[in-house]
């Protein structure tokens, strides 16, 4: 089901995370590819931290991309049952941010700037789960044709499992909820209903997404069904709510 509110999205993502973690996945991403979503990073971080705290308690570590964001969260949240810190810096490397008692790492809104530190964290974490919450890594994964960019994709980005992905476009939506396939929905011109254009095993990007929306999909499957505008009619309200 397509989420109508941010709260719906959070609930879907939590359910997907539970399934993925129970299935043994330990490098996960939760993506809401929505303008200004990074402004909700602290709110989202607390929502997911509260979800995990009963199971992991002090073993849960919430990691922000810089000391300022971490300090602000600590001040706003007060005493917590989990730990809050930053990803590290040249003076305090990420190696110093990990302890033996840590059981799950929730990394909040990491960007391309922190990608090497996140990769280091994942290496140090071993079998312990690392969840990237609303990572700002889209450009890292699709931009750059040099050797270093290819190495980064092959070495690190390729190991990340997209647990939840929601991307509203103009008259279309890309959705993935683990363990389901990637779905592309589109509103046809002059119609109120949205049509499921395709379900594919890989994230539809660039020309692949364009072909699907043009009805030229040659992917894993091409299932046709419709969804009432009621599900999508509130997307504008969804996006507007994020700016409040």
Q: What is the pLDDT of residue 110?
A: 93
Ramachandran bin of 36, using left for φ above 0, alpha for ψ from -120 to 50, beta for the remaining angles: left
Tell me the pLDDT tens digit for each residue of 171-209: 889 999 999 999 998 877 766 677 899 999 999 988 999
Q: Considering the domain 6-165 in this protein, what is its CATH number?
A: 3.40.50
Q: What is the pLDDT of residue 189?
A: 73
Lowest mean pLDDT among 201-205, 210-214, 237-241: 237-241
Average pLDDT over the chain, rounded to whole? 85
Of 217 and 32, the one with more pLDDT: 32
Tell me the pLDDT tens digit for each residue of 94-152: 999 999 999 999 999 998 888 889 999 999 999 999 999 999 876 655 555 566 666 77
Give me the long-range contacts of 234-238 (CB less than 8 A, separation at least 24).
234/4, 234/5, 235/4, 235/168, 235/173, 237/4, 237/5, 238/3, 238/4, 238/5, 238/6, 238/168
pTM (two decimals): 0.86
240 confidence band (pLDDT: 50, 70, 90): low
Q: Any idea where the domains of the chain sit in the sequence?
A: 6-165, 169-242
């Amino acid at each position: 089901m397509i989420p109508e509110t941010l709260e719906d999205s959070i609930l879907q993502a939590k359910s997907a995370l539970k399934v993925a973690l129970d299935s043994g996945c330990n490098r996960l991403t939760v993506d809401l590819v929505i303008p200004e979503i990074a402004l909700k990073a602290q709110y989202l971080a607390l929502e997911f931290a509260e979800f995990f705290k009963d199971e992991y308690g002090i073993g849960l570590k919430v990691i922000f991309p810089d000391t300022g964001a971490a300090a602000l969260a600590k001040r706003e949240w007060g005493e917590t049952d989990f730990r809050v810190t930053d990803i590290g810096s040249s003076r305090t490397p990420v190696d110093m941010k990990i302890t033996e008692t840590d059981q799950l790492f929730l990394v909040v809104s990491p960007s391309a700037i922190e990608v090497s530190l996140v990769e280091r964290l994942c290496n140090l974490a071993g079998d312990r789960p690392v969840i990237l919450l609303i990572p700002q890594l889209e450009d890292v994964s699709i931009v750059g044709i040099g050797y270093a960019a290819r190495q980064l994709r092959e070495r690190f980005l390729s190991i990340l499992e997209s647990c939840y992905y929601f991307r509203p476009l103009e008259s279309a939506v890309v959705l993935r909820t683990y363990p389901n396939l990637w779905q592309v929905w589109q509103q046809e011109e002059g119609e109120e209903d949205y049509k499921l254009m395709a379900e594919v095993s890989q994230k539809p990007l660039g020309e692949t997404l364009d072909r699907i929306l043009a009805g030229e999909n040659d992917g894993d499957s091409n299932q046709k069904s419709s969804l009432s505008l009621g599900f999508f009619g509130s997307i504008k309200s969804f996006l507007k709510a994020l700016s409040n």
